[in-house]
Copies of this chain bind each other. A is one copy, B any other.
Amino acid sequence: MKSDELFALLRRRGVLWPSAEIYGGAQGLYDYGPLGTALKRRVEDAWAAWFVGLSHDYHLIEPAEILPEAVVRASGHLENFTDPEVTCESCHAVTRADTVLEKIRPEGVDGLTPVQIAEIIQTKGARCPSCGSTSLSVPRPFNLMFGVDFGVTGKERAYLRPETAQGSYLSFARMWDVGRHALPLGIAIIGKAYRNEIAPRQVLFRMRSFTQAELQIFFDPAGFPVPFDRVREEMLPLLRVPRREAGEETPELVRAGSLVDSGALPEFYVYHLAHTLRFYRDVLGYPADRIRLFEKSDTERAFYNKLQFDVEVRLESLGGYKELGAVHYRGNYDLTRHSQGSGKDLSVHPTGRDALLPHVLELTFGVDRNVWALADTHLTKEGERTIWKLPPYLAPVAVGVFPLIDKEHSEFALGLVDELAFAGIPTTYDGASSIGKRYARMDEAGTPFCVTVDAETLHDGPARGTVTLRQRDSRTQERVPAGELTTRLLPFLRPPRPRRA
């Protein structure tokens, strides 16, 4: 499906829609409806189960989203978190420089200075995308953070966090004190981040308020022990820089073990890259042949990142590979900056070691983008039918319970809904229209199991107390005792977890 068609379907089904729709919407803001909210929550839970579940020493926290100015000054965001924008002197439209240069320079403007961009705009005859004029201003840096006037005096300035990661760096000292004084220590955050994007677009891909899930692992650069044997044979779909420079778009499969044996990448990094791949492929269920691990070059990645692979998935709706997450080796940049900015020495003394400033491995994940990608990749059409083939543990509604005839079978069916809900199984009741139409509604909503209560359920006979259990993907139907549903379905409704290190 194309983006427009997919968005229309998601809007019609109440998965998501533009925010403040009755006021004409607010650019770059979206609301999640009932199905979208449930899906998003399950994606977040699956992420936490997998990544926070990697170690007993990884923890989820929830810091405030507002950062005092001193924090974003130290982190570098106040100075550097900018996109170059140009103003059209003819029609006054404000545009991102990379949008202006889209046709002339498809590789984007990352890493270029404003002066270099200005030169390209002038020499290549770039035009305003709105009116076509060539009278474009010199690009100026536009800070993407939303500032807020904090407090009553009007003199304190604060910012909505542009990334959740800062909360982990700010909390590191407290988490060290509270914890068992050992590295590695992982601090995860799932929450909102805010960016005043110059050109919000592609629905959930460039939003002004969006949800990130990020895990910062603080470790001793002298040694980050991992049970590498668990991933040694994993085949990673890499697109490394030399191959990219040769014009290749498709990844090549490289054995995890060989990357380490050859010294190409550090063991701890490959271990986490492999677990990241498994999450996207085995937990979220993206088709393996659509995933690539895309290495960023020196000029593309932030200067403090020593290594960066983006996880990209090929999406039909957006016409190509899109970044859904990344694995960043950030060194000790952040703790260094916050040590300087706060005046508090953030180095630590693990038992039996000299004091050190830990390095950080950052696993980052765009929740909204993945919600969209799960619609793109898992919504399929089979003839007249639209089926959202989500893994059962991600489905917004796990079970649809139907009375065959509403008036006769609803009491039993409603009792069953309550019973399943109490067992923690997200269940919905649908008593309207034909069974076929109800199945179709559930298929489109991604519900993996449907249960129908009928006359046989209620009347004396061999089938008393049994219901029809129908599976979405196989369309098989079988007769099952209602009392066994919970035990039978629960194992499918728990997100996978790695064994812990």
Which residues on B sit within 8 Å (CB–CB) of A167?
31
B494 contacts A423, CB within 8 Å?
A: yes
Chain A residues numbered 54-97 whose CB sits less than 8 Å from any CB in chain B: 56, 59-68, 70-71, 85, 94
Known: A21-B170, A424-B494. Contact between A66 and B26, CB under 8 A? yes
Q: Does A246 contact B (CB under 8 A)?
A: no
* Residues from 88 to 145 in A contacting B, C-beta threshold 8 Å: 94, 142
Contact A174 B63 (CB under 8 A): no
For the complex formed, measure the closest distance between the CB of A24 and the CB atoms of chain B, giving whole angstroms.
8
Q: Report if A260 contacts B (CB, 8 A).
A: no
Chain B residues contacting A347 (CB-CB under 8 Å) are none
A14 nearest in chain B by CB position: B178
Cross-chain contact A500 with B414 (CB below 8 angstroms): yes
Query: Considering the chains assembled together, what is the distance between the CA atoms of A65 and B422 in angstroms?
Result: 31
Q: A151-159, A237-245, A462-470: which lies at the B interface?
A: A151-159
Contacts of A147 in B (CB 8 A): 148-149
Stretch at the interface among A35-43, A281-289, A297-305, A452-460: A35-43
Question: How many residues in A have their beta carbons less than 8 Å from beta carbons of B?
Answer: 83
Q: Does A342 contact B (CB under 8 A)?
A: yes
What is the CB-to-nearest-CB distance from A327 to chain B, in angstroms, rounded to a whole number?
23
Interface residues of A in 1-59 (CB under 8 A from B): 12-14, 17, 19-23, 26-27, 29-34, 36-38, 40, 49, 53, 56, 59
Any B CB within 8 A of the CB of A356:
no
Taking CB atoms, residues of chain B closer than 8 Å to A19 are: 63-64, 66, 170
How many Å lie between the Cα of A400 and that of B20 in the bound state? 45
Majority DSSP secondary structure for residues of A touching B: mixed
Complex interface: chain B residues within 8 A of A269 (CB) = none
A389 within 8 A of B: no
**Given the contacts A149-B196, A170-B21, A342-B23, A61 and B85 also touching, CB distance less than 8 Å:** no
A254 within 8 A of partner (CB): no
Which residues in B have their C-beta under 8 angstroms from that of A192? 65, 192
Tell me which of A21, A152, A198 has the highest count of chain B C-beta atoms within 10 A of its own C-beta.
Answer: A152
In contact, B38 and A60 (Cβ under 8 angstroms): yes
Q: Which of B20, B180, B417 is A432 in contact with, Cβ under 8 Å? A: B180
Contacts of A151 in B (CB 8 A): 27, 196
With beta carbons under 8 angstroms apart, the residue of B34, B66, B178, B198 that contacts A208 is B66
The 4 A-B pairs with the shortest beta carbon distances in the complex, nearest first, are A14-B178, A31-B63, A29-B64, A34-B59
